[in-house]
Amino acid sequence: MYKRMKMVWEIIGVSTGVILVALGMDMFLIPNKIAAGGVGGIATILHHLLGTPVGAAMLALNIPLFILGIYRLGLRFGFRSFYGTIALSLAIDALAPFLPVLTREPLLAGLFGGVLMGLGLGLVFRCRGTTGGTDLAAAILRTYTGVNIGQLLFLVDASVVLAAGIAFNSAELAMYALVTIFVTAWLIDLVQEGVSYARAFLIISSRPAEIEAAIIKEMDRGATAWRARGVYTGQEREVLLSVVNRSEVGQLKEIIYNVDPRAFVILASVHEVLGEGFKQYSSRR
């Protein structure tokens, strides 16, 4: 029962993400000739040059990719990936006649289209689905070339953007597409990782016990300690790791440097913290 409910929630999440992507493409990107990489970008070029429906063109391009993916990579993409690919193609063509074009300003179209696509794709990925396209193509190409998938994704998207600039005879449209790609990528990371709400302190001090006691007493927070050796000095010291909310950063700095003005501190943003004092893990994403 639990697994079935989890699957239902994931399908709902993928469906919601697909609709957001379709809205971004239909209301902003496609009407303004912004081909922001991937299969959607190729379909946008074909739509304006040949009049083919974008969703149908995406489906036609994705089907051979899936067949080749199964041949090269096996049946690892699963139902959610197949569902996401089909659903996106259908949603784009089904919604297009009923949606308004909200702007003819390419920069606004690129930004808002990128926001909707990033939110949608982030939700799809968070629910363990895909919409086929570029990520699948890159995974297939890697089996032939051995090149890093991130580099292949960039090369594939860059090639589509370059092709759009040539096809539409506009360097500006290619630049707007790049803006969309960067916004989309940023929103995908934001949806998957969350907003940075915590900070991690890595503390190297000659007085770790006093800092530990102050963290526990004054902040009601914990810390983790382990022994480490300085490479330059050869001295062994205790290293502390403590995670706090953003609002507590100033207080912890004050504690550390009141105890040890010569402490060495590394401060890093943390996107998600699970466990006591923070949020608990939930498998229903």
Domains in the chain with CATH codes: 2-193 (no CATH), 198-270 (3.30.70.120)
Distance CA 208, CA 201 (A): 13
In the structure, what pLDDT confidence band is assigned to residue 285 with cuts at 50, 70 and 90?
Answer: very low
**Residue carrying the six token digits 């003819």:** 104
Residues 154 and 148 sit within 8 Å (Cβ to Cβ): no
Distance CA 190, CA 71 (A): 33
Return the pLDDT at 233: 77
Has residue 151 got a pLDDT over 70?
no
Q: What percent of the chain has pLDDT over 70?
A: 83
Higher pLDDT, 76 or 110: 110
Higher pLDDT, 113 or 126: 113
> Which residues, including other chains, have CB under 8 Å from residue 186's CB and lie 6 or more apart?
118
Residues 113 and 25 sit within 8 Å (Cβ to Cβ): yes
Distance CA 10, CA 50 (A): 36
Higher pLDDT, 52 or 66: 52
pLDDT digits (tens, 9 = 90+) for 201-230: 999 988 899 999 999 988 888 888 888 887
> Exposed, middle or buried: residue 146 (CB in 10 Å: 0-12, 13-18, 19+)?
exposed
